[in-house]
Amino acid sequence: MKNIHGESFDVQLEEENSTILFKGALRLCGTEDYAPILDMLKETLTSPAMRIVLDLRELDFLNSSGITMLSRFVMEARDRPGIDLQVLASEAVPWHARSLRNLQRLMPGLSIRLT
Amino acid sequence: MMMSETLDKYGERAGDCEYLTLAFSPISAPLRSRWRNNGLSADFLGDYVTTFLPANGALPASGRRQNEVKHAVTYIANELLENAMKYHQPDVDIPIRIRLELASDHIAVSVSNGASLVQAGRYKAFVEHLQEGDVDDLLLRQQEESARSSESTMSSLGLLTMISDYEAQLDWRFDIHPTQPECITVTTSAVLPLKGVPGASA
């Protein structure tokens, strides 16, 4: 298990089931600061047979630079054949219903489970 | 940081509005150490709005709706502050200001910062581009472009998400500094009409 955390957030990669868990509020300053998290996300793309899960249910806040980071990852996943990407989202977190559909526009095969 | 209720550029509506203004002198600390302050200020404004909403009487005391409005204000305030901090002209005697306006039918968040003529010109060109285009198409294109990395397109993604995802109405002002004509005060305002707050019952 790998982990990146800051004052207000925590991101965890569970390699065995290709799941990335996000918690808290992410408002880092631009591409450079998001690079370590993006690199961790990309590690999942090396095993395309598996389903990759982004669990955002406890990610209460994400700034637009963070949305860009997710967009970037989704586009990388889209450009590799055979990647099955699922996003877990929560109805209780307002930004999920508002902004995640933009990721689906980038990758129509992306599944979003809003619970 | 100072607080006041007196910034009155749009003062003619003072009778039915409540204001809150925060001002920062960005030269006093480097960008990276100020960054945390964006989030703290944005969270504060979002929380502040929730205490105002039930007292307004125009809204049902629905926790879900309150949460939606709170989040929209926090997101918008955070994005506008991040942009202002990134693009503020440090050698100009203009503070970065964020102003929250609460009225019976809308909430407005305005942020102003100092810019050089060149920067202000670039921003103005982007604004014109934004006003002419289809926001959803622009958003998709900006996502593709900013994914290929450039800080300037990332900032416009923030504005586009405000319009597309939060249904904010954006407005801009470019004012020449009274004593430094080579400097412009750039003000970006985002208005959330309360009836149209997404997630609220119609």
CATH code for the domain of A48: 3.30.750.24
B199, A94: Cβ pair inside 8 Å? yes
pTM of the full structure? 0.88
Q: What is the pLDDT of residues B98-131, one digit of tens each?
A: 999 999 889 999 999 999 999 899 999 989 988 8
Question: How many domains, chain A?
Answer: 1
Contacts A99 to B, Cβ<8 Å? 161, 165
B4 Cβ partners below 8 Å, 6+ apart?
B21, B23
A11: containing domain:
2-114
Report residue B149's pLDDT band, with 50, 70 and 90 as the boundaries.
low
Select the residue from B44, B75, B86 to test the A interface by mutation, using most A Cβ atoms within 10 A. Answer: B75
End-to-end, the C-alpha distance of chain A in Å comes to: 26
Higher pLDDT, B91 or A22: A22
Both structure tokens of B134: 């289809």
Please tell me if residue B139 touches chain A, with a CB cutoff of 8 Å. yes
Contacts B146 to A, Cβ<8 Å? 68, 71
Give CA–CA dist A76/B147, Å, rounded: 10
Q: Identify the pLDDT of residue A70.
A: 95
Residue B103 near residue B16 (C-beta atoms within 8 A)? yes
Please tell me if residue A1 touches chain B, with a CB cutoff of 8 Å. no
Tell me which residue in B32, B140, B157 faces A68 most closely, judged by beta carbons.
Answer: B157
Domains recognised in chain B with CATH numbers: 2-114+166-193 (3.30.565)
Q: Identify the pLDDT of residue A97.
A: 95
